[in-house]
Structure 1
Amino acid sequence: MLGKIHTFETYTYDTFEKMIDQLYEEVKGMDSNDPSAMEKIRQYLITLNEEDEIYMELLVDKLKDKEIYWNRPWYQMSKSLTRPLNVDQDYEETFETGSFTSDEINKVNKNWHKFVKKFKVPDKPLCLARWRNKGINCSAPEEKVRYFVTAYLARGLQRNLYQVYRHIVTYYGAPVKGSYSREEEKIMEICFQHEPRNAVTTCSMVLSREPRGLYKKLHINSCGEKVKKPRIKWTLPLATKFVRQLMQYTNLPLEELKNRKFEKEVWLKLEEDMDQHYIYLQQFWNTNLHVQLFVQDSVSLRKLRKKIYKKLKKSSYKVWSDIRWKELRQKFPDGYTHHFLYRVACRGIRGFKKYLKVPLEEVLEHGFYNLVKYSHHYDRVLKKLILDKNGDLTPAMFNNESGTSTNSLAVKEKT
């Protein structure tokens, strides 16, 4: 999607702007709830992460043997960048607190330019600010280098290293300020639709904006704290309440809810009734309940996954992010949603980290391999639901020989 990763000899800020503009161009005409739109953003994140990794590798190569040679005050001697300094000790010399002043910001900038010139490294503070040490030991070379750079930038400041590191992350890592553009709001909408729990983190990295501003924007868009609520465990009574309210607010019988797009005001009413954010309710409807209500037979997820992979193998798609799930849905019986097909297909390739970058044929080979590798596991079945004479949801197929049904909507298993 975004092309080959650039080396730092050819990678410029103009290149970065072209990359983000290309992302905007690719998603602007896509439906926000289309899984392919989120895949575009994931692909962009992979590009950023790889760029950051390249930069850290370069810093390690340049600085791996460097030691701190300058005198430091006690408050800059801590070993951790990510934990606040313990100030229980009684020292006469203290450090500043509160926000960085303009003089302090200028000092950090001067230190950065001195660092770039002295050690002959690319002027890419954004890569340093974005880089995270997930899965890396605190004694790893990358961590030692990040510590060295932060200590260098703290020279001449009455600040501890934790404060300077947080300044690097927020000042260099989130340089974009001001009002949100239409393109940015499109990216935010896509992330909130597909990954509400991680939306702020993802948008912050993609848009180079501070998380606090994104949280505020979330609140303005009526997402607020409800996004953080734990998801409820869906049961038949809860699903029955959901369907009844949906029929009431749309004034439609159950059969006319199939493949219908509901206005946001309907979802907001359901949000209040169910005490769950409307995005979670949309996800439950699109990825579970719609299929259970409108697909004629119970669904074997293994068989369905195999069928999806076979159809993708015969398609003209070259990479995973090319897939148009709405188009693929047309090849399946009535009642399926493209959200459900996407989820089933993705779960069969979990663990294959490069699925967005390698040819689709390799991804499908991995998926077929997993189908064989885990064939000894129980198959998972999504049961069909119907409304009984009392207007309650009940399984169309009984779960045991006694003819009784369970109240749980968890996916059932059979051999």
Structure 2
Amino acid sequence: MNTTTRADAQTGAQADRFKATFGAAPHGVWAAPGRVNLIGEHTDYNEGFVLPFAIDKRARTAVRLRSDSTIRLLSTFGDQGLAEADAAALTPGPVKGWVKYPLGVVWALQQHGVEVPGFDLLLDSDVPLGAGLSSSHAIECAVITALNELTGAGLSVEEMVRLTQHAENAFVGAPTGIMDQSASLRGARGHAVFLDCRDQAVELVPFEAQEAGLVLLVIDTKVSHSHADGGYASRRASCELGAQVLGVKALRDVAVADLDEASGLLDELTFRRVRHIVTENDRVRQAVDTLRAQGPAHIGSLLDASHASMRDDFEISCPELDLAVDTARAHGAIGARMTGGGFGGSAIALTPVAQEQQVRDAVVHAFAEAGLTRPDIFTVTPAAGAERIS
């Protein structure tokens, strides 16, 4: 069964289950992809540069509007049963489980002045949870794409990016930037999304790994993470402190050449946090230039340097991520790094096709030798962004 046929079968099965659960057919099914970030970690909330792409794994939401304010939510995974909420009484608070993401989107839309009635929703997703591939933003982007159409809100993609960020920050309680939803909403097949997080300017950069004889492997370490925990928030606080001391609006405005002076103004920890952001922004721009001029086979050293910076300066890696990266490099990957917010999740390894199996086997063996849970390893390719699929 090819990819298109499989996707059609999944969509049809989801619509059938929706009807069986809620008693009527959905008004449609909308999908939004997860994302992999090639390079540019934690630069987004510093108004910097990132280079993610939408992946060929998606969250799919079947939705039907209701005539009252009741919201009913069900997913095809996990053990959380049918959840209900009142669209007219949503407030940020201790909402548990995946339902906080669609409810956060409804709340953010209401804050923007969009009237959202009740609705029934069935979620299906093959974006791995907790793997650093933005499964939560895939849900949010699928939901806002559906509700934008169904309510006739007429929101631009830039507005949907900001509203899903507002949902994450103010409703979910995760201090994230705009990278994940930008990739999910603005992705394109065969391209990475070069995003300026200050003004949302986007350029699509060709990333055709297969044409260069490469695959991008994702190594899900199975170490779950949460962006709402203290590690992410403390890194953001360090960046804000650094910008304040250096007298700039955001660390985006600090150049590599400014780091010598910054080292004398900042405490040692804050300086290392700042140095990661400043050098990472520079690596993103180098990666874009290299992809355009030479192609993906020449960005390996930038991926390696990015991981070292996240491990040593930003301190968001973990032993499992380091093991995945080091093993992949030692067995044929031309470059590897952790991807996502850190403290767990996934690594990526840009690998020649001829070495793919060797890298896979070596990583699995290394994890077994270390007594760790077997990682999931799979390939991803740049895919289309959020869209209606039925």
TM-score, structure 2 length as denominator? 0.24
Question: Which protein has the larger Cα radius of gyration, Structure 1 or Structure 2?
Answer: 1
Greater helix proportion: 1
TM-score, structure 1 length as denominator? 0.23
Greater strand proportion: 2
